[in-house]
A and B are shown apart, each in its own frame.
Chain A
């Protein structure tokens, strides 16, 4: 069975908009730790949260998250 994980570009996009993890977390109503885990590919988030984060970063889901099929 293949394992599908996300690779996120949140860190890169945060830098573009000069956002801290805390600021992005507040925008999407999650904890800073959750953003940290997503950035480090330690947490496969829900589609709803992926959409919220993408919108907060003025990007599409495909621009922020990259599928990694193993």
Chain B
């Protein structure tokens, strides 16, 4: 049975442990990556691959738009704080777009 290699993304969740040592609770957000271990037992079939690709495409488009906007914003504001906020925002936005799109395609199927 073909297993899903996407489960290895779950290893990124280990970065959340940095929050324990540094006291910066923002790192705990990385624990969300452990969710990828949940799909490790799923068969990696053609519909799953297609839905992952479509969700990834949506996330790519959104992150590109957000990147362009942030570059313009950083150029105008010229502050490192703004850049840091935009990096975090793009990271969160693209993850959400990916997760929401993927769940939507999984429920709807693909006519």
Contact = CB atoms under 8 A, between A and B. Distances in A.
Interface of A: 5, 25, 29-31, 33-34, 37, 40-46, 49
B4 to A, nearest CB: 10
Interface of B: 1-2, 42-43, 45-48, 106, 108-111
B49 to A, nearest CB: 10
B73 to A, nearest CB: 41
B45 A30 contact: yes
A29 B42 CA distance: 11
Given A29-B1, A29-B2, A34 B110 contact: no
A67 to B, nearest CB: 15
Contacts of B45: 29-31, 34
Contacts of A45: 46-47
A31 B48 contact: yes
B47 A34 contact: yes
Residue from A29, A30, A49 whose CB has the most chain B CB atoms within 10 Å: A30
Can you list the 5 inter-chain pairs with the closest CB atoms, starting with the nearest? A42-B109, A37-B109, A30-B45, A34-B47, A43-B109
B106 A44 contact: no
A5 B47 contact: no
